Amino acid sequence: MDQAFIARSNAYAPYSKFTVGCAILLENGEIIHGNNQENAAYPSGLCAERVAIFAAGANYPGVAVTSMAITASPIDDSFEKPVPPCGACRQSIAEYELRQEKPIEIYFMGAAGKVARANSLSDLLPLIFDRNYL
């Protein structure tokens, strides 16, 4: 989570002013940072979790993701409740969990307060649409 806070400090969120940081721990010990990257054409931006997991997939192919830590809040750090990853990010993370056949632990929080934990992405996204339906 300390790494997620560092990642959040580098978020680019001039439009929403809601900053999110994500740190991924890989099974080889590497830590990957992601943060939300917004765009003047709003839908062209991307969430912190997907920036991070796509960077992991791009730079460390075949290395399993052990866990993800996420911190999210308006830039004034006012939010003190755990902020779970959005549905699109859950779908993207699920692809990696299924592919590696090992659970990914997800820890998430606001700018302060309690940390929530899921032992597996599948706990956050039941009835997932996956490659078995294609």
**Interface contacts to ligand THU, rule CB under 6 A:** 13, 16, 18, 20, 36, 38, 45, 47-49, 85-86, 89
Which C-beta is closer to ligand THU: that of 27 or that of 115?
A: 115
β strands within the chain, DSSP E: 18-26, 31-35, 65-74, 105-109, 116-118
CB 20 within 8 A of CB 3: no
Least distance to ligand THU, CB of residue 50, Å: 8
Which C-beta is closer to ligand THU: that of 25 or that of 50?
A: 50
Residue 50 CB: number of other CB atoms within 10 A?
20
Which C-beta is closer to ligand THU: that of 25 or that of 124?
A: 124
Taking CA atoms, 8 is separated from 21, 36, 39, 81, 130, in Å, by 4, 8, 17, 16, 30
In angstroms, the CA 21 to CA 47 distance is 9
3-state secondary structure of 119: coil
Which residue is catalytic, options 27, 38, 49, 101? 49
Least distance to ligand THU, CB of residue 119, Å: 19
Least distance to ligand THU, CB of residue 34, Å: 8
Residue 80 falls in the annotated catalytic set: no
Active site residues: 49
